[in-house]
Chain A
């Protein structure tokens, strides 16, 4: 597993509490949900766990929340071992994938619920409720019930409710997955703004790579119960540590290549290798579409198969002379001039690529 320390990200504040998950293991029957999973989150940092369904990301979050138990391993918050502390004593705020507002309570009562359990008097409860509802822009809705709110509003209230108790750790379990695309982007940005405002250490779980890359200080890519790579979004995208990460995060072409002398021969260029690459002989280079240039001039080495218009940019699929299909990302103005079967020249950036074996 490749891990980059959070101190190099420069985004986390130091107002929250540090979290350590140490060698967690969890099995359900014959399924290994977590297989020696470890993760350190710096105070005030937002780490996003990203991975396909069943990779163990939600299990890790639920074990941190105390809603599930680990078969082995340790959970530490602020240096204290809380592995055996029940969920209601862990001082964490959580937003769930499913709408979780208490239907019989108003927005205000939902937000004040945790404060009431902590024995705060009515005046302080009301003041704090208004404060956090202001933070999520819903103070005008405090007398409404859950059924009178949209899905996005319900999740914002759930966020306010989780933050009202000033938790040491904020846990977000795919909070946006039930929302439509536009609301999802709005709320995603709002969650990040609020998290930076309050500086709470946050663990966010999602299977949406765009969401993960947009909000995280560091993204942890999970596969089969293990952390494949933990790094800042730009690092993760540009320097994937494994084939799984390269293929799961963003689109990747698999282009046949020959490696020699620490470089890969690729579409006429010699490209340096990322760590973990095949060091000699034949392999496949994993190349991002935006690292492939399409040139209408020059000696053609491919023919256009299809063009997909995606607004500000387009994706061009072309077949190389040796029969391989390669996808390139280019400006829509250039793509508009390309017709099917047009001869083009494909070239790659000389940034390092990951070469995997056959």
Chain B
């Protein structure tokens, strides 16, 4: 009996290892290929770091990387500040509004980005008038863009805990609403918050349609242009954006985890 169970366990372990390796190869090969391509000497042999040097030396590329990273950061912050308390509040106090909030959050999925851009271009004339023509004003459009995905991640996290009972328990122990949200609900939906942030960063770093049609310069628009004249630098820029985004999210995840584990009795 135990021998059969042991054999089954070994088989399961082997399957897991194989699956893990397959996924690692699936994700690593394109990244390694990008690294390989971006360090090759065009039309010759050997390696060169010229494409990567261009990322730093070229002012347009450098500033577009900074712009896109700031856009990702601002989008994540604004999305979380708007969506997280709203969704918690709806679950706690006005559950009857949950369908409406879900409908509003998922609405951007049903409208093609091109149509949204045409629609909001007039609004952006006002945004530019009041806030200037910085590409960072795209934050508002990007928050709308990431709403459906962020909503799903947060909704799943909130559904996995009994928010009402936990918050009532905290209230009965003397916690005000801000304490309930910060110390009881948020730590228990942190995985969902991180997922929402991950997917938002990924979307913003790859977003081309809005930026291009609204005439803003971001990393995707620069890389698209560069791809026609200097492919290795374009690929190096793509890889850099991916790595920087991943580092940003790892930092976010690490800071959140450390913050939660340091609050003992």
Contact = CB atoms under 8 A, between A and B. Distances in A.
Nearest to A116: B265
A92 interface: yes
Interface residues of B, number: 21
A114 B174 contact: yes
A118 B263 CA distance: 16
Interface extent on A, as a size class? 35 or more
Contacts of B263: 109
A132 to B, nearest CB: 12
Interface stretch (A23-31, A93-101, A250-258): A93-101
Given A96-B168, A104-B188, A117 B161 contact: no
B161 A122 contact: no
A162 B176 CA distance: 17
B7 interface: no
A104 B160 CA distance: 13
A207 interface: no
Given A116-B265, A125-B265, A100 B171 contact: no
B57 interface: no
Given A96-B165, A96-B168, A104-B260, A126 B173 contact: no
Given A109-B265, A116-B265, A122-B265, A88 B176 contact: yes
Contact of B162 (A66, A67, A100): A100
Given A109-B264, A129-B265, A100 B166 contact: yes
Nearest to B189: A104
Contacts of B179: 117
B250 to A, nearest CB: 20
Contact of B188 (A94, A102, A112, A125): A102
Contact of B174 (A88, A112, A129): A88
Contacts of A165: 173-174
Interface in B159-182: 161-162, 165-166, 168-176, 179
Contacts of A125: 265
A248 B246 CA distance: 63
Contacts of A88: 171-176
Nearest to A89: B174
A171 B174 CA distance: 14
B169 A112 contact: no
A194 B264 CA distance: 27
A108 B263 CA distance: 12
A281 interface: no
A158 B179 CA distance: 19
B240 to A, nearest CB: 35
Interface in A114-138: 114, 116-118, 122, 125-126, 129
B201 to A, nearest CB: 24
Most chain B CB neighbours (cut-off 10 Å) among A87, A90, A112, A162: A87
B188 A114 contact: no
Contacts of B187: 104
Nearest to B265: A112
A303 interface: no
Interface in A76-94: 86-94
A109 B260 CA distance: 12
Given A90-B172, A112-B265, A161-B169, 7 more contacts: A65-B172, A87-B168, A100-B169, A104-B188, A117-B173, A125-B265, A161-B173
17 contacts: A86-B171, A88-B171, A91-B174, A92-B172, A96-B165, A99-B165, A100-B165, A102-B170, A102-B184, A102-B188, A104-B187, A114-B174, A117-B179, A122-B265, A158-B169, A162-B172, A162-B173
